[in-house]
Amino acid sequence: MINQNRFLLLLALLSAFPPLSTDMYLPAIPLLQKAWHQPLAVVNLTLVGFFVSYCVSLLFYGPLSDRYGRRPLLLAGIGLFIVASLLCGLSTGIVGLIVFRVLQAAGAASAATLALAITKDIFKGHERARILAYMGVIMALAPMLAPVFGGWVLTWFSWRWVFVIQAVIAAIGWIGVLRMPETLKTPSANSVRETAGIYFELLANRRYLGFALMMSIIVVPHFAFIGGSADIYITRFGLSEQVFGYFFALNAMAIMAGSFACMRLLGLLGSQKLLTMGFAGILAGGAAMLTRWLPGPWGLALPMVVISFSFGLSRPPSNNLVLEQVDRHAGAASSLLIFIYFLLGAIAMWFIALDWADKIRIIGLLATISGGAMLVLWLLFAKRAKSLGNRGS
């Protein structure tokens, strides 16, 4: 018998592997630039390389877990993450750190995608949307606390301890998975070659692919902020690593508040209205950032609060809507969805690392364009999306 509260905490921890792997490390980026005499575009490859490797690895974990089960793939992936995290902490140069971050991402990919697949194994329809919202609230603590904790570590210890702590947290998750029962009741009988065909089947599912692409556009300003925030707050505005952590935590708190609002409002308003509100909020936050109505760091922080709240509000129902478009191969469907999500995120992080004169304006433009595009597309397809979203309710 599964203890639901403990199970939700475990799923939230697994889903939080990407922010734990990145946000705790963000305050160290300007420090590594100076220590290793590297430009931001090079140091940011530790982020871009992480997410590219993460995206590619997702495509393997999902289908393999459909055949061999969620639990063994999770144990192997988290084990790789633990070893790679320790190797990151031992790195002596930027090339080694990039390589070990790529390995770390290959392990982290098992956690987030299979946590999403597990929700598909156990929960159905509206209940799954509610569980995803609960997970969103819990896992938002990771990006909220991680940069603050990372700033404290950098103040008292070396940046290497950031990766040691990541390894310890992952070890806790590994123990939780070891004690977890297998959730996949009917494994797939597909061979490895047939497994590759699953993705062609998903790509041929126009409803699934269309909604996956649409709902992933909104991650662009979010990841651009992640990739550029340390440079903006620490290098441009001269804030300390600890103060940067507090500003970043404000952004993460807004995501958690959005997920909590989604959880409370889902039954009252429904997915369609929440998605409309979320996309409109991203557009409004981007427009406010472009006006520069507040000077200094608050001119970035407060509009990002609006964008992040709207992101948290719209993400659970959008995930659920995409997964409702498939009746089988939940692991592969989850993998491909998160692949698209993080691939766009990696592109945004690379883009913001370029030598822009005003990165705040670039983030504002990305939010305005992505929020506006999604709002228009969603209003055009809202009637159809509502009927598809209610299919499993």
HSE value, Cβ hemisphere, 13 Å, CA-based, for 61: 35
Q: What is the pLDDT of residue 1?
A: 45
Question: Residue 392 — pLDDT band, cuts 50, 70, 90?
Answer: very low
Q: What is the mean pLDDT of residues 60-89?
A: 87
Answer whether residue 357 shows pLDDT above 70.
yes
Note whether 154 and 31 are within 8 A (CB).
yes
Q: How far is CA 181 from the centre of its chain?
A: 25
Answer whether residue 4 shows pLDDT above 70.
no
The residue among 85 and 350 whose pLDDT is bigger is 85
CATH H superfamily, domain 10-389: MFS general substrate transporter like domains (1.20.1250.20)
Give the SS3 label for residue 110: helix
Q: Where are the domains of the chain?
A: 10-389
Q: What is the pLDDT of residue 387?
A: 54
**pLDDT tens-place string over residues 182-204:** 777 776 666 656 766 777 888 88
Q: Report how far residue 357's alpha carbon sits from residue 361's, in angstroms, rounded to the nearest whole number.
A: 9
Q: What is the mean pLDDT of residues 196-224?
A: 83
**Mean pLDDT, the chain, integer:** 82
Q: What is the pLDDT of residue 98?
A: 94
Answer whether residue 126 shows pLDDT above 70.
no
Q: The pTM is what?
A: 0.74
Residues in the chain: 393
Note whether 47 and 94 are within 8 A (CB).
no
Answer whether residue 3 shows pLDDT above 60.
no
DSSP 234-254: IIIS---HHHHHHHHHHHHHH
Answer whether residue 366 shows pLDDT above 50.
yes
Which residues are CB-contacts of 328 (< 8 A; sequence separation ≥ 6)?
Answer: none
Answer whether residue 369 shows pLDDT above 90.
yes
The residue among 117 and 89 whose pLDDT is bigger is 89
Q: What angle do CA 204, 208, 209 make, to 5 degrees?
A: 65
Q: Report how far residue 228's alpha carbon sits from residue 350's, in angstroms, rounded to the nearest whole number.
A: 9
Q: What is the pLDDT of residue 48?
A: 86
The residue among 137 and 317 whose pLDDT is bigger is 317
Note whether 124 and 392 are within 8 A (CB).
yes
Answer whether residue 103 shows pLDDT above 50.
yes
Q: What is the mean pLDDT of residues 25-45?
A: 86
